[in-house]
Amino acid sequence: MYHPRELYPSLGSGYRLGPPQPGADSSFSPALAEGYHRYPDLDTPKLDCFLSGIETAPRTLAAPPPLPPLPPALGAEPPPPAPEALHSLPGVNLSLENRELWKEFNSVGTEMIITKAGRRMFPACRVSVTGLDPEARYLFLLDVVPVDGARYRWQGRRWEPSGKAEPRLPDRVYIHPDSPATGAHWMRQPVSFHRVKLTNSTLDPHGHVRPRLGPRDEGWGWGQGEESLLFLPSQLILHSMHKYQPRIHLVRAAQLCSQHWGGVASFRFPETTFISVTAYQNPRITQLKIAANPFAKGFRENGRNCKRERDARVKRKLRGPEPVATAAYGSGDAPGGPCDSTLGGDVRESDPEQAPAPREAAPAQAPPCGGPSAEAYLLHPAAFHGAPSHLPTRNPSFPEAPDSGRPAPYSAAFLELQPGPAGSGYPAAAPPASFASHFLQGGPFPLPYPGAGAYLDVGSKPMY
């Protein structure tokens, strides 16, 4: 965890997390102000944008919010890792497990392929978490938000802004299939989001709301009397040639559909920014992907599908029928061990230190991959919708040249979710109106912030 002074040096040493100054904004909720005092030593910078979809305007801030630096310019030397967090889960910390790999990609300028069918991220986001309550249950979420309001183009040697960003696509969040699980479960081994896919298709079938077919056992995370709807955000929708930043959210909630959130922690790692593309632009990225991704083993220098071999096959094909494959193409030709993509998805075979801890099978109470875990997005969408919606229009001063290294304005709305009274983890405020229907219409989220305690009414029973 980094001190805000390290993250926002321009703010000077006087900066600290705190409530708005009295009189600066009369609309500031007393309950929320109280929430700021709840953790006077919570010295983590607030993740800008998070929950801005709930709070329609940054009116809870008296003074202009701090402006976190943008992720490092692609192709430039990355600054020291600085995970940024907004949270009301004191003591909870996240670290990027495969940071070295991410840094290696980031030093070149990470690109992520997006396809209509959906393409996995490589490297994947793999984090380890500490500081959770071993007995409490949490949800792990991942979303990807635009970094700025620009469209990019590859100029032969570097990425450069090239016009205004496309209109925003429907926001989605990927919910880790183990969710909800106990803190002990999450802390037992790294948490990998390697199954999440990126797509540029708004018509893909992996996000439809449909009747739920699974069991309603409470252990699966289903509450009583919930709507039988299931949302499957296994794919996140992105625009090509845009710069994005993955974010990881940790939500304390006993069930996916619990109306009570005991707290939220949100993290982003600057080295995980990437530009979405439909075809790789930077050949160095291609080489890195081939070298690091087990599924691309066939394209390595000693692989049968490497360029040299492919060219040779083409020549042979032109000359006549290809002879029977030689022993040189035997199974022992390929380097490395078994593909670990189902474990971590991004482990360099040549780097044993990057090997993930063996993951246990999903606990009995965990929902199947892509199953009921998705409903949290349906039922708590506003909490997942951060800054992206306003970025293209609210950051006119984004630097023209990303390689300039100059920090850019990033966002605006900061909120904290607070536990209920007496540290019960329960919200104190009455729930606002349900916003699920609003979400289904795909519109913005003008509903008011639920107030301290993050009491979100989704029509289910409290779990705590």
Q: How far apart are CA 268 and CA 251, in angstroms?
A: 15
Contact 413, 58 (CB under 8 A): yes
Tokens of 34: 């109280």
> Nearest approach, Cβ of 274 to DNA (angstroms)?
12
**Could you count the other beta carbons within 10 Å of the beta carbon of residue 248?**
25
Q: Could you tell me which stretch among 8-16, 108-116, 202-210, 365-373 binds DNA (CB under 7 A)? A: 108-116
Pick out residues in 11-70 that bind DNA (CB under 7 A): none
**Could you count the other beta carbons within 10 Å of the beta carbon of residue 245?**
23
Binding residues for DNA, rule CB under 7 A, total 47
Pick out residues in 162-181 that bind DNA (CB under 7 A): 162
Contact 148, 208 (CB under 8 A): no
Nearer to DNA, 2 or 280 (CB): 280
Pick out residues in 202-231 that bind DNA (CB under 7 A): none
Per the listing, tokens 């801890």 go with 357
Q: How far apart are CA 392 and CA 381, in angstroms?
A: 21
> Nearest approach, Cβ of 369 to DNA (angstroms)?
10
Contact between 298 and DNA by CB under 7 A: the answer reads yes
- Binds DNA by CB under 7 A, chosen from 44, 52, 272, 281: 281
Sorted by sequence, the CB contacts under 8 Å of residue 113 that are 6+ apart come out as 119, 198, 276, 277, 278, 279, 280
Tokens of 99: 């940071």
Q: How far apart are CA 74 and CA 72, in angstroms?
A: 6
CA dihedral 77, 78, 79, 82 (to 10 degrees): 180
- Binds DNA by CB under 7 A, chosen from 6, 217, 333, 351: 333
> Nearest approach, Cβ of 31 to DNA (angstroms)?
44
Contact between 119 and DNA by CB under 7 A: the answer reads yes
**Could you count the other beta carbons within 10 Å of the beta carbon of residue 166?**
15
Nearer to DNA, 116 or 406 (CB): 116
Contact between 200 and DNA by CB under 7 A: the answer reads yes
- Binds DNA by CB under 7 A, chosen from 82, 113, 165, 378: 113
Nearer to DNA, 236 or 265 (CB): 236
Nearer to DNA, 288 or 383 (CB): 288
Contact between 308 and DNA by CB under 7 A: the answer reads no
> Nearest approach, Cβ of 83 to DNA (angstroms)?
24
Contact 363, 188 (CB under 8 A): no
Helices (H), 204-332: 283-292, 307-319
Contact between 338 and DNA by CB under 7 A: the answer reads yes
Contact between 334 and DNA by CB under 7 A: the answer reads yes
Q: Which of 41, 135, 142, 59 is nearest to 448 (CA)?
A: 59
Residues in a beta bridge with 94: 129
Q: How far apart are CA 206 and CA 218, in angstroms?
A: 25
Contact 261, 50 (CB under 8 A): no
- Binds DNA by CB under 7 A, chosen from 29, 115, 128, 365: 115
Contact between 350 and DNA by CB under 7 A: the answer reads no
Q: Could you tell me which stretch among 83-91, 109-117, 208-216, 222-230 binds DNA (CB under 7 A)? A: 109-117
Q: Could you tell me which stretch among 81-89, 265-273, 307-315, 438-446 binds DNA (CB under 7 A)? A: 307-315
> Nearest approach, Cβ of 126 to DNA (angstroms)?
14
Nearer to DNA, 305 or 404 (CB): 305
Nearer to DNA, 182 or 293 (CB): 293
Q: How far apart are CA 244 and CA 410, in angstroms?
A: 13
CA dihedral 178, 184, 188, 191 (to 10 degrees): 40
Contact between 304 and DNA by CB under 7 A: the answer reads yes
Sorted by sequence, the CB contacts under 8 Å of residue 301 that are 6+ apart come out as 308
Nearer to DNA, 37 or 307 (CB): 307
Residues in a beta bridge with 142: 174, 248
Contact between 293 and DNA by CB under 7 A: the answer reads yes
- Binds DNA by CB under 7 A, chosen from 336, 363, 368, 446: 336
- Binds DNA by CB under 7 A, chosen from 61, 92, 181, 277: 277
Residue 53: how many CA atoms within 13 Å on its side-chain side? 22
The binding site for DNA (CB under 7 A) comprises: 113, 115-120, 122, 153-154, 162, 195, 197, 200-201, 240-241, 277-281, 286, 289-290, 293-299, 303-305, 307, 310, 313, 329, 333-334, 336, 338-342
